[in-house]
Amino acid sequence: MSTQLVAGTIMLNRANGEKKFLVKEEQSGQHFVTTKMNQEYTSLANILQALKLEVLVDIHSMDLVELTTICLDDRKIPLYVFEMEETQWTHELENGYTWAKPSTLRNLLKNFSISDVPIFE
C-alpha cells in the first residue's frame, strides 16, 4: 500500500490586486507543498504542520478557502488552498519555495484529474 499524501498551496493577495500562489521549485518542475500523512492527525493538520515547518508560515494569518481532491497515478490526494494578505507575509521564501503566477498554477493543475468530492476512507 502506498503512503497517503496531502498537498496545499497559499494564494497571496497582493496590495495591487494581483494573486500569487505558493509552489515548490524542483529540478522536475513546480509542485504543490506536499507531505506524507501522519495517520494520528487529520489531513488538514498534516498540511498545516508542513506549511508551518517547511515554509515558515504563520498558520494563524491565513484562511482555508478551498478543499478539493486531485488524482495522480490512481492516488487521491486532498489539496488545500489557503489565502493570506500580502501584509501578513513577513519574510523571504526559502527551501525552493516561490510565489507563482496564476497561469503557473493552472499549468500545474493540468497534471491532475480534479474532483470536488472529499476523500472518506
Average pLDDT, the chain: 89
Instruction: Please state, in angstroms and rounded to a whole number, the distance separating the CA atoms of residues 33 and 24.
Output: 6
Query: What is the CATH code of the structural domain delimited by 5-115?
Result: 3.90.79.10
- Model confidence over 85-97: pLDDT tens digits? 999 988 889 889 9
Cell of 80: 488545500
- Model confidence over 64-120: pLDDT tens digits? 999 998 887 788 899 999 999 999 988 889 889 999 999 888 888 887 777 655 444
Instruction: Please state, in angstroms and rounded to a whole number, the distance separating the CA atoms of residues 55 and 50.
Output: 7
The identity of residue 57, as a single letter, is V
